[in-house]
Chains A and B, each alone.
Chain A
Amino acid sequence: MSRSFFAKHPSVLIFIAVLAIFTIMVTLASDAYGFGWLSTSYIKTLGKTLSLCLVALAMDLIWGYAGILTLGHMAFFALGGYLIGMWLMYARTEEIVVQALAHGGLPATPEEISQGIASQIFGVVGTSDLPAIWSFAYSLPLQLALALAVPGLLALVFGWLAFRSRVTGVYLSILTQAMTLALALYLYQNDSGLRGNNGLSGLQNLPGLTETSQDLVSIWFFWASALALGLGYLTLAWAVSGKFGSVIRAIRDDEARVRFLGYPVELYKLFLFTLTALIAALAGVLYYPQAGIINPAELAPIASIYLAVWVAIGGRGRLYGAVIGAAFVSLLSSVFTSGRLPNIPLGPVWLSWVDWWLVLLGAAFVAVTLFAPKGISGVFDRYQRIAPPDRKGAPLGPADGSLQKQEAQA
């Protein structure tokens, strides 16, 4: 089966090859396993970019293929990050507390340890009790399961409510924006149990690997992100290559017609919404240990809009387009916002790239929408000489043999 799959979809093979070569090159350029051409922080940036590419894949599946413009998927991404962050923070703090208490001579009791952990983590928001939502934070497997289950369940309930009432188009976009904003506002509160606007920090320190240098950790996470992206790409490419892809593209183009063919459109949408939320959560689990910190600002509505912008610039409706868009824009964004680019004097004012980057991005988005609706990946079509069918003229009707207007003129 797989041979014919790759033969039919050469772009999948090319993508996997490019990703593999990129991973090997970065590994060779790393401090840990290679010649040290790339700094550890840049390796982390690249690893984070790969996890962003994975969310972009999810966004492309639901927006580019199924036409559901959700603007809330970064909430699922951040939730995944929060839930894995809870374990990272808890386990790491536990190590520190145990070490500190060991100086007292007597071994610490479990109560003392959990007291210590709670006051260490929550001292910053003025409490010393561990909230109930941290009940499973001691266990990696449980918290990992929660990191997928919680966003998945939220997406399932939210999607069920929205799709059941046939909320579509811009109304759904607004609703998802409201969802991510509401979650962010909730997390900003100190008593929501996730340290309010401080968020969770120190996530780059892996429990049990205190002695391991970040050079190694960064490349491990880079590999994990690359692996997740590769597997995600393969799975989604397989899913959209068959009849499932055909159905969801049909839903995008004319959902009423799909209903009359007997397909439960709402169920498909719910399925996609939940599946993409799970992918987003997985990407978040990989992203935030590399970022090291997460706070409610990560759930801001703008984050999910960026996601849509990446996919639009890369080219929606094709998986590699989403990856190209996410990688290109987020890497460019890190260049422009790094503050290392020289400011350009313009008479009395300075053109500061940090401030002007958003304007540039906005202009690029408008330009892509107007002049290159296929985004960056439209370049590949031009290379393969795939021209879009140009039949904008009105049908002439039966008399002229059903030609389109412009065909009759030509």
Chain B
Amino acid sequence: MSALLEVSGISVSFDGFRAINNLSFSIGPAELRAIIGPNGAGKTTFMDIVTGKTRPDQGTITFGERAVSLLGMSEARIAREGIGRKFQRPTVFEDQSVQDNLLLALKAARSPWCVLIWKPKASDLARVQVLAHEVGLADQLQRKSGELSHGQKQWLEIAMLLAQEPRLLLVDEPAAGMTPSEREQTTSLLVSLAKTRAVVVVEHDMDFVRRLNCRVTVLHEGAVLAEGSLDHVTRDQQVISVYLGRG
């Protein structure tokens, strides 16, 4: 199985501080992966690099069957290649209705002139309905998303990500600010999503990672410290000393 995303030997430093140090990472087209690591391990920087927000000083990143290089592409271009990103705090467009938010995310041409003449077809509206139903917002479509509760915004953002139909999903701390039952739902959603696409979850919460039941990559000081099942990495002496031992 060839990898969907292949990151090799990337480094980046900010004002002399090496945030990412010769990091390599790869994930298959239908795989769930958790990334854990202490604060400052470079988890968010790693996501920034993959999504094009930060440019690495060296290294290569390739994506897809044709192994196109993501280096030098803009954030928007990378997103169109099929990489979706879920931020830690819910970022939905609060001034707009749930339906508008979803239509905005729906996979379609993105250039200004295409968008200008774009009209939602019945199939688009049906798709929005289905997505909203999946995340329990079916009867809130006309509400302004700013009026939704924190948890509902999280779900709306997840639905927006699904509407984008990404091939790789980067999820930053999905469980933050969710009730236990919402966490349960999130876990099963992520696991089912990973059947058809690659999903990378960055998470602090060990219980949550355990329930995901997937391969785990441990980051420390900008490099991969260990990789394998959760049980495997938690037995690793280095991991215990830098991460688990501290908590």
Which A residues contact B (CB, under 8 angstroms)? 239, 242-244, 246-247, 249-250, 253-254, 256-257, 259-268, 271, 389, 391, 395, 397-399, 401-404
Q: With CB as the reference atom, state the residue of chain B lying closest to A263.
A: B110
Are B76 and A263 in touch, CB under 8 angstroms? yes
Q: List 7 A-B pairs, Cβ < 8 Å.
A: A246-B100, A246-B104, A253-B95, A262-B79, A271-B112, A399-B179, A402-B177
Are A243 and B164 in touch, CB under 8 angstroms? no
Are B76 and A247 in touch, CB under 8 angstroms? no
The secondary structure that dominates the A interface is: helix
Q: Does B185 contact A (CB under 8 A)?
A: no
Q: Does B23 contact A (CB under 8 A)?
A: no
Are A389 and B144 in touch, CB under 8 angstroms? yes
Instruction: Looking at the assembled complex, report how far the CB atom of A248 sits from the nearest CB atom of chain B, in whole angstroms.
Output: 9
Are B151 and A398 in touch, CB under 8 angstroms? yes
Are A397 and B93 in touch, CB under 8 angstroms? no
Are B111 and A264 in touch, CB under 8 angstroms? yes
Q: With CB as the reference atom, state the residue of chain B lying closest to A259.
A: B75
Instruction: Looking at the assembled complex, report how far the CB atom of A271 sits from the nearest CB atom of chain B, in whole angstroms.
Output: 4
15 more A-B contacts (CB under 8 A) besides A244-B112, A395-B177? A242-B116, A242-B118, A244-B118, A247-B115, A250-B96, A257-B91, A260-B79, A260-B84, A260-B85, A262-B79, A263-B115, A265-B76, A268-B112, A271-B112, A402-B150
With A and B bound together, what is the CA distance between A365 and B100 in angstroms? 32
Instruction: Looking at the assembled complex, report how far the CB atom of B152 sits from the nearest CB atom of chain A, in whole angstroms.
Output: 7
B contact residues, range: 35 or more
Q: Does B12 contact A (CB under 8 A)?
A: no
Q: Does B233 contact A (CB under 8 A)?
A: no
Given contacts A244-B116, A267-B111, A402-B150, contact A260 B179 (CB under 8 A): no
With A and B bound together, what is the CA distance between A140 and B43 in angstroms? 62
With A and B bound together, what is the CA distance between A194 and B115 in angstroms? 41
With A and B bound together, what is the CA distance between A254 and B178 in angstroms? 23
With A and B bound together, what is the CA distance between A256 and B74 in angstroms? 12
Contacts of B116 in A (CB 8 A): 239, 242, 244
Partner of A261, one of B74, B94, B96, B160: B160
With A and B bound together, what is the CA distance between A398 and B155 in angstroms? 13
How does the 8 Å CB contact mask read for B192-219 relative to A, with 1 for contact and 0 for none?
0000000000000000000000000000
Q: With CB as the reference atom, state the residue of chain A lying closest to B100.
A: A246
Contacts of A246 in B (CB 8 A): 93, 96, 100, 103-104
Q: Does B182 contact A (CB under 8 A)?
A: yes
With A and B bound together, what is the CA distance between A263 and B111 in angstroms? 7
How does the 8 Å CB contact mask read for B157-201 relative to A, with 1 for contact and 0 for none?
000100010000000000001111010000000000000000000
Are A402 and B76 in touch, CB under 8 angstroms? no
With A and B bound together, what is the CA distance between A403 and B95 in angstroms? 19
Are A260 and B104 in touch, CB under 8 angstroms? no
Given contacts A250-B93, A259-B74, A262-B79, contact A401 B149 (CB under 8 A): yes
Are B177 and A397 in touch, CB under 8 angstroms? yes
Q: Does B119 contact A (CB under 8 A)?
A: yes
Q: Does B138 contact A (CB under 8 A)?
A: no
Q: With CB as the reference atom, state the residue of chain A lying closest to B86.
A: A260
Instruction: Looking at the assembled complex, report how far the CB atom of B157 sits from the nearest CB atom of chain A, in whole angstroms.
Output: 9
Instruction: Looking at the assembled complex, report how far the CB atom of B73 sits from the nearest CB atom of chain A, in whole angstroms.
Output: 11
Contacts of A254 in B (CB 8 A): 91, 93
Are B152 and A402 in touch, CB under 8 angstroms? yes
Given contacts A239-B116, A267-B111, contact A261 B105 (CB under 8 A): yes
Contacts of B178 in A (CB 8 A): 398
Q: Does B51 contact A (CB under 8 A)?
A: yes
Q: Does B80 contact A (CB under 8 A)?
A: yes
Given contacts A260-B85, A261-B104, A264-B76, contact A249 B179 (CB under 8 A): no
Contacts of B146 in A (CB 8 A): 389, 391
Instruction: Looking at the assembled complex, report how far the CB atom of A237 sits from the nearest CB atom of chain B, in whole angstroms.
Output: 13
Q: With CB as the reference atom, state the residue of chain B lying closest to A396.
A: B150
Are B144 and A264 in touch, CB under 8 angstroms? no
Partner of B80, one of A243, A262, A397, A403: A262
Are B177 and A261 in touch, CB under 8 angstroms? no
How does the 8 Å CB contact mask read for B79-99 relative to A, with 1 for contact and 0 for none?
110001101000101111000
